[in-house]
Amino acid sequence: MIQIVASLIGRAVVVVAAAAFITFALLWNAPGDPALAIALARYDALVDADLVNQVREEAGMSDGFWAAFQAWIAPLMTGDFGNSSVNGRPVLADLLAALSYTFPLALFALTIGLVISLPLAVLATRYPGSLLDRFTVGLASIGVAIPAFWLGLLLILLFAVQLSWLPAMGARTPYHAILPALTLGLGVAASLTRIIRSGILEARGKQFLPAFRRRGVAETVVARDHIAPHAAVPVVTVIGLELAFLLEGLVAVEVIFARPGFGSFLVEAILARDYPQVQAAVIIAALIFVLINLGIDVFYRLLDPRMDVGLGGRDA
């Protein structure tokens, strides 16, 4: 077990390092002069060649790719993500502030997803093929196919514009989180419903269940002790995928609800060509994501001891 965890951690380190390198290479090769972009952002129209050269010198960009990469990666190792090239503030503090809006929203959305999908899947599988079951499957298929940003726009249209029940823009009060969380949560609910439903159906077909029943074990005990654990394995496997899906949705959803958070931070940084901010956002996101997947991998192995060979990860 310790060996497996060690190799998983080793892999996580490689992934984050590769993400850092790829991001830097991408920024380096992006069209336009990064030094000019930084100078423009900082000093507006008062930019001349000297100033651009000065910025280039400061950022270590004058001595080629590897020198610039080193100038960037060395402070990063000590946790220093540098200052924003646009507003001059430390990047990490701003990014953490953005994440402090994103984490509660993501948790809220996951909770909504679970609260809807779990009972729905359990009810639907009680009578497979029934009207309720088919209705559930249909609804879930539609939910998976809806683009998150469009669902968000529809919810704004209905609850904020037409009915004026809920606020839509910004994050001033906790009520502002309801619509964005609902947008993301419904998407999560749709895909979780599909997975939990097929997990339960598969677990119910296991050959050892009739043996318990014939021995007189109560149906509720069979469901709790023998069906539920087996149904949980595929669910845990895809939680990583689910979180990726959530993060993807978050970017567009934060933008349409004008909410501060990781997604808005990333999109604004890209639009402003704020290189230190983009780099920090990518690395922190990779780090969080890899850590979550690491946790899932370990948990999965605890849940299903047969999985001691072959490293899983985000398999489809």
What residues make contact with another protein under the rule CB under 8 A? 11, 14-15, 18-19, 23, 26-27, 30-32, 141-142, 144-150, 153-154, 156-157, 161-162, 244-245, 247-248, 251-252, 255-256, 266-267, 270-271, 278, 282, 285-286, 289-290, 293, 313-316
3-state secondary structure of 90: strand
> Which run of H or E residues covers position 171?
none
CB of 273 to another protein, least distance (A): 8
CB of 181 to another protein, least distance (A): 19
> Which residue's CB is nearer to another protein, number 62 or number 141?
141
> Which residue's CB is nearer to another protein, number 70 or number 141?
141
- Residue holding tokens 């995928």? 241
- Residue holding tokens 């993060």? 247
CA distance 85 to 190: 41
CB of 270 to another protein, least distance (A): 4
β-bridge mates for residue 74, sequence order: none
3-state secondary structure of 84: coil
> Which residue's CB is nearer to another protein, number 67 or number 291?
291
CB of 154 to another protein, least distance (A): 7
Own/partner pairs, 134-141, CB within 8 angstroms, 24+ separation? 136/193, 136/197, 137/194, 137/197, 139/190, 139/193, 140/189, 140/190, 140/191, 140/193, 140/194, 140/197, 141/190, 141/194
CB of 224 to another protein, least distance (A): 29
> Which residue's CB is nearer to another protein, number 52 or number 256?
256
> Which residue's CB is nearer to another protein, number 14 or number 221?
14
